[in-house]
Amino acid sequence: MTNLLVIILSGVAALIAGGFIGILVGRRASAGYLRDSKRLADSVVRDAQQTAENYRKEGEIGVKDTALKMKLEFEEKTRETREALKDRELQLINKDGNLARRVDLLEKKESSVTEREGSVERRQEVLDRKLIETNRLIAEENVRLERIAGMSKEDAKALLVRNLEGEAKLQAARHIKELREETERTAKRESQKIITLAIQRYAAEQCVETTVSVVHLPSDDMKGRIIGKEGRNIRAFEKAAGVDVVIDDTPEAVTLSSFDPIRREVARISLEKLVQDGRIHPGRIEEIIEKTREEIDLNIAEVGEQTCMDVKIHGIHPELIKLIGRMKYRASYGQNLLNHSIEVAYLCGIIADELKLDSQVAKRCGLLHDIGKVISHEMEGSHTELGADVARRHGESDVVVNAIEGHHRDVEPTSLYTPIVESADAISGARPGARRETLQSYVKRLEKLEHVASAFDGVEKAYAIQAGREIRVMVSNERIDDAHAAKLAFDISRKLEKDLDYPGHIKVVVIRETRAIEYAR
């Protein structure tokens, strides 16, 4: 029993001692765990602070980058706006200069017209005085002759009429009339044969020029790249090329519109290069367009030289060769100017051969006859005047200059080559499909031309001829005298300039005719 009690007490003591020891060990372990937890917490706090500092620095860098990008975009837009304003300012300055020059020219013309009117009035006064003096002298001379001859004026007229060989003169007049009619019939028949032969020997194809070009795209996605961000690319392209770019719902196609064929061709080739290259931005656009312009200039010179070789014309000045090359990119009423000039040159050569003339000179006249149309949009004046002036300045002969200046009858012809060019030009323009103008609009224009001329007082009939380039006005000889006929022609020409739109010049011819008719029974 005693031993059992001792064992129990020893166990209790051991348990108590173990509990104390466990408490002491647990306290020590808790203290170590607390220290480790504190160290871990400090490490986490330091890492969090470092991460926050990194995030703060990265945020500051991002803000600075965004601000820098916004600044660069603002500076770019500001630069583009300034350039646009500068271009607009230059355009306004040029327009002001052109208006000033036109005002000066109009003032000079008005002064010249005023001086001419004063001169005409003075001359008219002198003529009136001379007419009065002449009538007085004639009356005095008639009185003196009657006194010397011992007969009246009526008796002298009767004696003179009896002594005239009227029958002989009548027969001569009839013979002259018959010869004239025979000559006209022969000339008409021969001219028809020559023109028909020329048309048969040279039959050229015709096509109507348009004012738009279509560029095909590999896909519709390319339209967005052509437009660019906020339309920057398309605006840069239109500004550099000088054309209108039309992007619509047409699949895989973009339309370029311009009345200047050279600009339109430069824009078409440039856009095709940009689409093929794939790099489309304002700087690249300006670079491609500038290179394409240089290529077109070289092509123009090559076309001019090749045309002269094909037509077999030599010795033409290099500047005229360039103008011939530019004809490829010009059109008149839808007819390509270069093809028209080549056709006229060949027709002139054929007609000249039939008339036993120099075909080389005739072809030279025909090839250069419309060269003024290439520069007519850059300088003031008709294409015949500009063409004659540039041909004269570059050493062409007087025959060629007269053919250029007179193929629309603006001046009198000095050689047979001028009417040959006029005929060949009319043949080429009259070919089916050569000109854009329809029959209805052509007839309507001629009817309006005749209506304007017929509205004037004293006009009996008016006829539009030469495809509307000339109008013949028949007037009453009782109501319109010679002096008023010239004034009527001037008034009709001013009225046509005011009311009608027409190509080239219109020649107004007022005809006042007096006829004496008798019948022999």
Every domain of the chain and the residues it spans: 165-201, 205-311, 314-436, 439-512
Percentage of residues in the chain having pLDDT higher than 70 = 77
- What's the rounded Cα separation, in Å, for the pair 396 and 309? 18
513 contacts 485 by C-beta, under 8 angstroms: no
Q: What is the pLDDT of residue 355?
A: 83
pLDDT band at 183 (very low <50, low <70, confident <90, very high): low
- In the predicted structure, residue 179 carries a pLDDT above the cut 80: no
- What's the rounded Cα separation, in Å, for the pair 431 and 493? 29
254 contacts 241 by C-beta, under 8 angstroms: no
CATH architecture of 205-311: 2-Layer Sandwich (3.30)
Q: Output 467 or 210, whichever has higher pLDDT.
A: 467
**479-496: average pLDDT:** 84
Strand, helix or coil for residue 249: coil
CA–CA distances in Å: residue 376 to residues 102, 122, 290, 383? 16, 38, 25, 6
Best CATH choice for the domain 314-436 from the list 2.30.30.100, 1.50.10.20, 1.10.3210.10, 1.10.3720.10:
1.10.3210.10
470-475 and 507-512 as β-strands: parallel, antiparallel, unpaired?
parallel
- In the predicted structure, residue 19 carries a pLDDT above the cut 70: no
**165-171: average pLDDT:** 57
- In the predicted structure, residue 193 carries a pLDDT above the cut 60: no
436 contacts 475 by C-beta, under 8 angstroms: no
pLDDT band at 177 (very low <50, low <70, confident <90, very high): low
211 contacts 217 by C-beta, under 8 angstroms: no
371 contacts 390 by C-beta, under 8 angstroms: yes
CA–CA distances in Å: residue 478 to residues 2, 92, 460, 489, 513? 181, 55, 11, 17, 10
SS3 track for 139-187: HHHHHHHHHHHCCCHHHHHHHHHHHCCHHHHHHHHHHHHHHHHHHHHHH
Average pLDDT, the chain: 78
* Token reading at 234: 């398309």
Q: What is the pLDDT of residue 207?
A: 45
Q: Which of 325, 338, 229 is nearest to 282 (CA)?
A: 229
Model pLDDT for residues 305-356, shown as the tens digit of each residue: 888 888 888 888 888 888 888 888 887 666 788 888 888 888 888 888 888 8
Model pLDDT for residues 406-441, shown as the tens digit of each residue: 888 788 888 888 888 888 888 777 655 455 555 566
Q: What is the pTM of this model?
A: 0.47
- What's the rounded Cα separation, in Å, for the pair 421 and 361? 11
Task: Count H helices and E strands in the chain, helices first.
Answer: 15, 8
Tokens 């015949």 locate to 384
Find the radius of gyration of the CA atoms of the chain.
47
CA distance between the termini of the chain: 198
Domain 439-512 has CATH 3.30.300.30: yes
* Token reading at 180: 């004239």
- In the predicted structure, residue 446 carries a pLDDT above the cut 70: yes
401 contacts 371 by C-beta, under 8 angstroms: no
